[in-house]
Structure 1
Amino acid sequence: MSQDRPDAAEDSLVFASEAAAAGRGCPPWTILVVDDEPDVFAATCMAMRGVEILGRPLEFVHAASAREARALLQSRPEVAVILLDVVMESEAAGLELVACIRNELGLKKPRIILRTGQPGYAPEMQAIRDYDINDYRIKSELTRTRLYTVLTSALRGYQTLAAVESTRHDLEYLLRAQTELLSANTMPAFAVGLLERLAGLFGAAADAAFVSDGRRAQDAEDHRRRVVAALGRYADWSWRRLDAIGPCPEVRVIELAFSTRRTVQGECGLAMYLPSRTGADAVAFLGAACATARHAPEVFDLFVQNTAVAADGVRLVERLRDAAYVDGLTRLPNRSALAETIDGALRVPPDGPQRLLLIDIDQFSEINETFGDRIGDALLRGVAQRLMAQADSSVRVARVANDTFAAFGPQDRLVPADWARRLDEPFEVDELQIALSASFGGVELTPECGSGGELIKMGYSALKRAKQAGHRSVAFYSHEVATEIKERTRLLHGLRAAFDQQRLFLVYQPQVEAASGRTVGLEALMRWRADDGRLVPPDRFIPLAEQSGLIKDLGAWALRLAIHRAVVLGEAGHRLRMAVNVSMSQLLVPGFERLVEEALAEGGLPPQRLEIEITESVAMQSPDIVLPRLAALKRLGVGVAIDDFGTGYSSLSSLEKLAPDRLKIDRSFVLGLEAEQGSSGIAEMIIELGRTLGLRVIAEGVETEAQRQRLVALGCHELQGYLFSPPLAVDALPGWLAGQQT
C-alpha cells in the first residue's frame, strides 16, 4: 500500500472490505441526485462506479430540479438516499423540497444529505432537525472515500428504518391475523386460517399442515397425532394420523418439533411448535424454504406465543360448544343442537317434506338397574353407532334424553320400521346377549311449527302415545294425540294421588280345577276407583303405571297385600294358591327375588302357595335378565306361570329354558272354541304342549258351558272366568268360598 497516495490507499481498502461482504444478485440501493448541474451528477456516478455498500450495488438517478425530484419520488418510492443541492431554482428550493418529501409525499425512510457549492452557506439547525436531514456537506468535501462514508452511514440509517417499518407491518399483520383467528370457533377453522396467514407472513405458497398432538391431552379420545387441516400439496393429509402418512422429510421435521418442543427450520420447510396449557400441543408446518431471518426474532416469538394462546382459546370454545351441543357419552348432537338444526330448516325449508322421529329404548331403565351403568352406557353407545351407521348425510341423528334418540331429515328416510330393524340383532356386551326394542314417536315438519324445541315436544307427545300402546309401538303427532296426552297426564296425577291416599284395592278371581270344579287358586287383580266413584279400567292405568315407573311401588304393594290375603284365607281353612301378575319393570328391578322372599317371610306364607304370572312377551324380551330371576324364584319354591301364552313369540327351546309351572291360554283362543272356523286348534296345541312338557295348563276367560266342556274334553287342567265367578272384592271372597265348599 503506497503511503504517498492516501486517497488511492483508502480507495483500495474500501473496495477490498466491501467485496468480501458483497452478496451477489441483491437489488441495488437507489440513490437520487438532485442538482441543477449535470456535471455534478456525472462526477458522483464516476466516483462511486463499481462500489457496493452493505453487500448491495448502487444505482444513481438524476433530477435537475425540485419539480423533477418530486415527480421521480412519486414513481420510485424505493429511493434510499437523496443527495440534494440546497440552492437550485431559488435559495430555499432545496429545503422546500425536503418539506415536500417529508410532509406531502410522506416519505420518512429515505435519508437526505444536503450539498452546496457555497462554502459559507449552511441551513439552520432547526431546519435540519424539523425536516430529518441526515447530513450537510460542501460539494468539494465529498471525495470518493468521503462520499462512500457518508452514503454508508445514510444507508445504514435507511436500513434500520426499513427494518423498523417492516417489523411494524409484521406486527400489524399479526394483530389482524390473530384477531381473525380468534373468531374461529373450531380447531379445523382455526388451523386453516393460521396456515393461510403463516404463508402470508413469510410470503410463501400455502403448502401447509396443522398437526395436533392428542398424546398429551388428558381428555383426548384418540391419543395420536392427527392432521387437523392441510392445504396445497399436503391437502390429502387432512384428518389422517401423522404416523399413517409414511416417512418423509416433512413428517420428520414435524416429529422433531414435537420431541424437542421448539420451532424447527428444515430444508423442506418450517415446523412452528405451539405449546398448549391443556396438553394438546400442535405444530403448524409451512412447506417452503422460509427465510425466517427477514423477521425480527422477537416478532416471530411473539407470533408463536400469541398463536399458541389463541389455539388454547379455540380449544376452550370447542369444549364449551361440546358441552352445550354434543352428548358426552355417544358424541352425537344433543337436544339443543337438534333444535338448532330444526330451526334452520324452518328458516330455509329443505326440498321435500321433513320428519322428526324420536326413538325410545323400551325398558332401558330396568336394564340399566339390573346390569349397572357401565353396561347401560355401552348399550347406549352401541345404539348410537347402529343408528348412525345407516343414516345418510341428509339425516341428523341426536341423543335427546337418557334412552331417547332422534332422527331428523327427509320423510322417506325416516320410516319407523326401517329404523326398528337396526336394533333387531341383540347387543353383545361383556359376553352378555341383550335384546333391545324401541318405540317411535313421529311428527312432520310444517311451517306452523314455531321452533325446533316445539317440534321436539310434539315428538314427545307422539312418543308417549306409542309407549302407552306397548313396546315396539309407533305413533305420529296430531291434535288428537296432544289432547290424549294431556288426558293421560291428568290420569297419571290421579293415579299417584289414589295410591298415596290408598284408593287402590285388589280383587280376586277364582281359579278352579277343570275336572271337579274345586277352587284351587286365586288371581289378584288391581282396581282403581276414581273420586267420582267410577272404576278406571286396568288396561288404562296399568300401562300408565308401567311407563311412569309407578308400577314398581304398586307391584310391591300388591304383592304384600295378596300374600296377606292368602294367609288370612288359609287361617280360615282355604289353603289356595295366590297368583300375582308381575310386569317387566318389576322383574328387572335389581333384587326382585329378595323382595319376594322378604314379603313371604313378613306375611308368613309358604312359597309354594305363591305364583308369579308374567306374560310371554316379557319372558322372552330379555332372557339374560329374566331367566336368572325366574330360576331364583323357583329355588325359593315360588311357582311361575306364563300368562297370555300363544300370543307372543317364544320357541320350544326358550320355553324349556324358562321352565314354568303353568301355561295360561289367552282368552282370545278360548273364544275361538265355539267358532266353526276359529282358533280351537291353538288351544288344543297349547294343552298338548303342556302335557308333553309336564306343565299344567289353565284357560282364562271361560264364559260359557260349551267352552268349559270343550276344554275339559281337551284335557285342560284348570279354568278361570265369569262362568265360575267375576273378580271378587275382599269382603265377598270368604262367603263365595264357603258357598263353593258347601
Structure 2
Amino acid sequence: MTTKKEFLFAPETGTDKQCKENKVGFLPWKILSVEGDLSYQQALLHGLRGLVIQSRPVQILTVNSTEKAAEMLVKHEDIAVILLDAIMENDDSGIRLVDTIRNVQGNASVRIILLTEKPDSTSRKSVMEQYDIDEYWNKSEVQFELLITVLTAHIRTWESLRDLKQACLGLQMIVDAARGLNSLYDISSFTHTVLTEIGRVIDTTPQGIVCISKLKKSCSDDASLAVATVTAATEDSTNFIGLPFDKEIQEIFGKISSKALETQTHQFDEYHSALYFEGDNNLAEYFIILVQSKNPLSSYHINLLKVFGENISSGFTNISLINRLSQLAYQDPMLKIHNRNWLHREIKSMSKKNKGKSELLIFDVNHFTSRVLTFGEEHADELIKGLYNAIKEIFSDKYLISRIEIDTFAVICTKVDSPSESALKSLVSKPVVIHGVPHILELTIVRMNMNFLIDFPPEKVLYLGLSSLHIAREKSKSIIHYTPEYLEDIKSESMMMFDLRDAIKKGDLFVVIQPKINMTNMKVIGFEALLRWESENTNIPPSVFIPIAEKSGLITQLDSFVFTKSVEIANLFSDLGYDLPISFNTTCDDLKDPLYIGNIISTVENGLVDPSLLEIEITESQAMLDYDEINPILLQLRDIGIKISIDDFGTGYSSLAHITRLAATSIKIDRSFITNIETEESSYRVVDIIINLANRFGFSVIAEGIETKGQMETLLHHGCHIGQGYLFAKPMTLVTAIEWLKTQVT
C-alpha cells in the first residue's frame, strides 16, 4: 500500500500527550485499530501518520485483542471510528466485539469498519445485514486514498451522532431532575423542537403533530395508523397528544400519511407535509411528522424540508436507541419493573430528610441456584414472579419494587407504611403455586433503617444490605434488622481477608497435627493435619479465618499448602519408622480445580509419597453439594490408593442412594453428637444409626471431639473403635508430635 501526494498530513508530534491537542487547540479525532496482524497494523499507522481531517489531527489508538479493545472503548468514550480485524483470537472474535460494543456497552455512535483477508461477498452481505457495521472491506482492496475518504465520511457521521447524543443526554438529565415524568419525555421534547424548526424552515406557524408507532412493517398501513400515538403537537393541536391517530387527524392527513408509510419516504402536497423517519429496527419503530401549512408549499420549501429531514433523521434513530438503552439500564427485562440501577439512582436522589423517614427492605430467595438446577429455569422464573406478586400484596401501589439481583428484590418505603413484622413472617414461608403445585418461598429479609445510612452512597447502602443477608443466614434468621454494628463486622471481615492474604505471603500459617487412636488398645493409627494462623502472637481460630478464605477464594491456596505439609510429615514419619497416614481437609472448590487435583495425582504417580499414607477429608455437605461431579473425582483419588473420609457425618442430610455409592473408605461422626452422647438420647440414637449404617456399607468409623472417658466407653460399647479428641491429645506441632510418639504405642 502507498499513500498519495495530495493527502493532508499534520506535523509529527512525537508523544501521545502532544497529540491530544494541535497548535490551534483542536482535540484530535480518535481512531481505534483492533488488529491481529501486527505488520498490517504498522502499515496502517505509517499510512495514516499525521493525517488531518477538517482541520483536526487524527490520533490512532492500537490494540491487538478484542478484550483490550473493549477496555479501550470504556477508557476512551470519544473514539469515532474502529478499524476492526474480523478474525482475531477466533474466527468470530471481531463479530462478537461488535455485539459487545452495540448491545453490552450500548455504544451506537462509534462507526465500525470491518477488515478481513477473506474475499467472501456472501459473508459480507450477511454480516452487514445482521450486525450494526458501517463498512466491510477486504484488506487487499483498501488503498489509503479510499481509506482516507471513508474515514472522513464516518468521522463526520460520528460527530453528528455524538452532538445529538449529548443533546439527548441533556434531556435525560432533565428527566432525572424532574423525577416523575415518563420515559417519552425525551422524544416529546425533541419532536416539539422539530415542529418549531419546521415552522422556521417554511416561514410560517404550522399546524402539526408527530406520531410514533411500534407496529411491525408486515402489518397493513391502516393498522399501523390505527395504533400510532401522537407524542407531540403544535399549540393549536395539543388536544391530540397522547391519543391514537383518530378520524379527525385522518381527515386532514390520512392520504398523505398513508403514502408516506407505504413508501417509507417523505411526502408532500400543496399544503401538507409527511416526513417519515425510521426509529429502532429492533423495536420495529417509526416516526411520522405531519404538518399543515397556512400557505402553499413552494418547491423551495419542499427542498428545504427534505434537506432538513435528512439532517434530523439520525436524531430520531439516536433518541430511539437512547430511550431503549435507558430502558435496558433501568428496567428488569423479565418483570418490566425497576432494577438495581434505578434503585441506585433513587437512593442517590433522596434528601437526608427523606432518608431519615425511610426504610429499605430487601427480599432474597434461599437456595435459588439449587432450585434452578433441580427444577429448571422456567420454574425459577415462575418462582420469581410469584415472589414479586407476594411482595406487591404487602405494599401500597405508591411504592415501587425493584429487582436488584436475579433472586433479590428491594423496596424503599416510609417507616410509617413499612410492613409489620407479622406480615413479613407470613411472606417468608408463603407458598407460591407453580403449575398447580405449591412451593414455599423460603426467604431471607433484611430491614434497613435509612437513618443509619444517611451519609452513605447508594452502592454502599446496597452492599451493606446484601452483606446483611449473609449475616442473617449465618445467624439462621429469616428476618434481620440492620444495625451499625454490622458495618463494623463487615469491615473487620474485610480487614481479616487482607491480613490473611498477607499472612500467606509472609508464611504466618502453619500446620499442626492431632492423633487418631484405636480405642481398644490405645495405639496411634494416624494423624489429621490442621491449619493454624498466628498473627502478632495471637492465635486466630480456624472457625474464623476458614470461612473468610472460602468467601475470598483463598481456600484452595490454603488447602494446597496443607497437602504439601501432609506429604512432608508422612514421609518424615515413615523415615522415623512410623507408617502413620496423614489426613488433610479439602473442599468442592479444591476438587474442581484441575491444578489442585493434578498436584495430588502427580505427587503420588511420581513416587513422592506412598498413597496409603494419605487420607482426604471432605465434609458430608461438601461431598453432597455437587455429588455427580465430586464423587467421580473422589473415586479417581481412591483408585490411586488415597483413603477418603467423610467428615462431620450426620449433619449434611445425605441421600441414602448417594451413600451407597459414596467413594469413601471411612466416615467421621460429627463432634456435636459426641458432645451430648452421654446426656441426650437423640445424640445417642444418631450415633448408633451412623455406626450401623457404616457397618452396613463397609465404612470404618471415626469419632471426633472425644473429651471424656464416658464418651469413649459409650462409643466402644456401640462398636466405634477409632477416636480423636482432647482426651487423647491436643493438636501439636511436628516436633512435639515426634517426642509424643516416643511415649505412645504405635
TM-score range, shorter chain: 0.5 to 0.7
Q: Counterpart in 2 of 1:494?
A: 499
Q: Counterpart in 2 of 1:704?
A: 708
Q: Within 2, Cα distance between the matches of 1:442 and 1:275?
A: 47
State the SS of the aligned residue for 1:564: helix
Q: Counterpart in 2 of 1:211?
A: 214
Which of residues 510, 519, 524 is equivalent to 2:515? 510
Q: Counterpart in 2 of 1:547?
A: 551
Q: Within 1, Cα distance between the matches of 2:740 and 2:542?
A: 23
For residue 332 of structure 1, report the CA deviation from its aligned partner.
8.4
Q: Within 1, Cα distance between the matches of 2:711 and 2:382?
A: 49
Q: Within 1, Cα distance between the matches of 2:193 and 2:214?
A: 16
Q: Counterpart in 2 of 1:663?
A: 667
Going from structure 1 to structure 2, the CA distance change for 1:348 and 1:536 (only over 3 Å counts) comes to closer
For residue 525 of structure 1, report the CA deviation from its aligned partner.
0.5
Going from structure 1 to structure 2, the CA distance change for 1:330 and 1:234 (only over 3 Å counts) comes to closer
* Residue deviations 1:561-593 (CA, integer Å, cap 9, x gap): 112211221222222222111134433435542
* Residue deviations 1:355-407 (CA, integer Å, cap 9, x gap): 2438699999x9xxxx9xxxxx999999988876765474543547xx99662
Q: Within 1, Cα distance between the matches of 2:589 and 2:226?
A: 46
Which of residues 299, 302, 310 is equivalent to 1:297? 302
The reply on whether 1:597 has 2:601 as its aligned counterpart is: yes
State the Cα RMSD in Å. 5.5
The reply on whether 1:730 has 2:722 as its aligned counterpart is: no
Amino acid at match of 2:739: G
Q: Within 2, Cα distance between the matches of 1:600 and 1:687?
A: 31
The reply on whether 1:183 has 2:171 as its aligned counterpart is: yes
Which of residues 586, 590, 594 is equivalent to 1:586? 590
- Normalising by structure 1, report the TM-score: 0.57
Q: Within 2, Cα distance between the matches of 1:416 and 1:609?
A: 54
State the SS of the aligned residue for 2:214: strand
Q: Counterpart in 1 of 2:118?
A: none
Q: Within 2, Cα distance between the matches of 1:487 and 1:674?
A: 38
Q: Counterpart in 2 of 1:97?
A: none
The reply on whether 1:563 has 2:567 as its aligned counterpart is: yes
For residue 637 of structure 1, report the CA deviation from its aligned partner.
3.4
Going from structure 1 to structure 2, the CA distance change for 1:199 and 1:255 (only over 3 Å counts) comes to same
Going from structure 1 to structure 2, the CA distance change for 1:676 and 1:488 (only over 3 Å counts) comes to closer
Q: Counterpart in 2 of 1:714?
A: 718
Which of residues 334, 349, 360 is equivalent to 1:355? 360
For residue 512 of structure 1, report the CA deviation from its aligned partner.
2.0
Kept in 2: contact 1:332–1:384 (CA 8 A): no
The reply on whether 1:529 has 2:534 as its aligned counterpart is: yes
Alignment map for 1:388-537 (pairs within 5 Å): 392=392, 394-399=399-404, 407-410=410-413, 411-412=418-419, 443-446=448-451, 449-453=454-458, 454-459=460-465, 462=468, 465=471, 469=474, 476-531=481-536, 533-537=537-541
State the SS of the aligned residue for 1:679: helix
Which of residues 280, 284, 287 is equivalent to 2:287? 284
Going from structure 1 to structure 2, the CA distance change for 1:324 and 1:236 (only over 3 Å counts) comes to closer
Q: Counterpart in 1 of 2:85?
A: none
For residue 333 of structure 1, report the CA deviation from its aligned partner.
6.3
Going from structure 1 to structure 2, the CA distance change for 1:332 and 1:566 (only over 3 Å counts) comes to farther
State the SS of the aligned residue for 1:273: strand
Going from structure 1 to structure 2, the CA distance change for 1:630 and 1:345 (only over 3 Å counts) comes to farther
Q: Within 2, Cα distance between the matches of 1:234 and 1:288?
A: 15
Going from structure 1 to structure 2, the CA distance change for 1:183 and 1:204 (only over 3 Å counts) comes to same
Amino acid at match of 2:601: E
Going from structure 1 to structure 2, the CA distance change for 1:619 and 1:444 (only over 3 Å counts) comes to farther
Unaligned runs of 5+ in 2: 1-166, 176-181, 200-204, 219-223, 232-238, 246-252, 435-440
Amino acid at match of 1:480: E
Amino acid at match of 2:359: Q
Amino acid at match of 2:566: A
For residue 698 of structure 1, report the CA deviation from its aligned partner.
1.0
State the SS of the aligned residue for 1:650: coil
Kept in 1: contact 2:361–2:445 (CA 8 A): no
Kept in 1: contact 2:428–2:478 (CA 8 A): no
For residue 270 of structure 1, report the CA deviation from its aligned partner.
9.1
Going from structure 1 to structure 2, the CA distance change for 1:210 and 1:345 (only over 3 Å counts) comes to same
Q: Counterpart in 1 of 2:154?
A: none
Q: Within 1, Cα distance between the matches of 2:442 and 2:430?
A: 10
Kept in 2: contact 1:273–1:282 (CA 8 A): no
Going from structure 1 to structure 2, the CA distance change for 1:308 and 1:611 (only over 3 Å counts) comes to same
Going from structure 1 to structure 2, the CA distance change for 1:495 and 1:474 (only over 3 Å counts) comes to farther
For residue 680 of structure 1, report the CA deviation from its aligned partner.
0.4
Unaligned runs of 5+ in 1: 1-178, 216-223, 239-249, 372-376, 427-435
Q: Counterpart in 2 of 1:262?
A: 265
Going from structure 1 to structure 2, the CA distance change for 1:390 and 1:488 (only over 3 Å counts) comes to same
Q: Counterpart in 2 of 1:652?
A: 656
Q: Counterpart in 2 of 1:695?
A: 699
The reply on whether 1:642 has 2:646 as its aligned counterpart is: yes
Q: Within 2, Cα distance between the matches of 1:615 and 1:195?
A: 65
* Residue deviations 1:665-715 (CA, integer Å, cap 9, x gap): 111111222116452001001111111222121110111222112111111
Q: Counterpart in 2 of 1:127?
A: none
State the SS of the aligned residue for 1:674: coil
Q: Counterpart in 2 of 1:48?
A: none
Alignment map for 1:324-363 (pairs within 5 Å): 336-346=341-351, 349=354, 354-357=359-362
For residue 345 of structure 1, report the CA deviation from its aligned partner.
4.7
State the SS of the aligned residue for 1:698: strand
Alignment map for 1:90-109 (pairs within 5 Å): none
Q: Counterpart in 2 of 1:627?
A: 631
Kept in 2: contact 1:560–1:599 (CA 8 A): no
State the SS of the aligned residue for 2:676: helix
The reply on whether 1:308 has 2:343 as its aligned counterpart is: no
Q: Counterpart in 1 of 2:9?
A: none
Amino acid at match of 2:488: T
Going from structure 1 to structure 2, the CA distance change for 1:451 and 1:541 (only over 3 Å counts) comes to closer
Q: Within 2, Cα distance between the matches of 1:687 and 1:654?
A: 17
Kept in 2: contact 1:214–1:225 (CA 8 A): no
Q: Within 2, Cα distance between the matches of 1:252 and 1:694?
A: 88
Q: Within 2, Cα distance between the matches of 1:600 and 1:189?
A: 69
Going from structure 1 to structure 2, the CA distance change for 1:543 and 1:204 (only over 3 Å counts) comes to same
Q: Within 1, Cα distance between the matches of 2:545 and 2:433?
A: 32
Amino acid at match of 2:486: V
Which has the larger displacement, 698-707 or 494-503?
A: 494-503
Kept in 2: contact 1:358–1:442 (CA 8 A): no
- Normalising by structure 2, report the TM-score: 0.57
Kept in 2: contact 1:362–1:439 (CA 8 A): no
Going from structure 1 to structure 2, the CA distance change for 1:701 and 1:300 (only over 3 Å counts) comes to same
Q: Within 1, Cα distance between the matches of 2:730 and 2:226?
A: 72
Kept in 1: contact 2:429–2:443 (CA 8 A): no
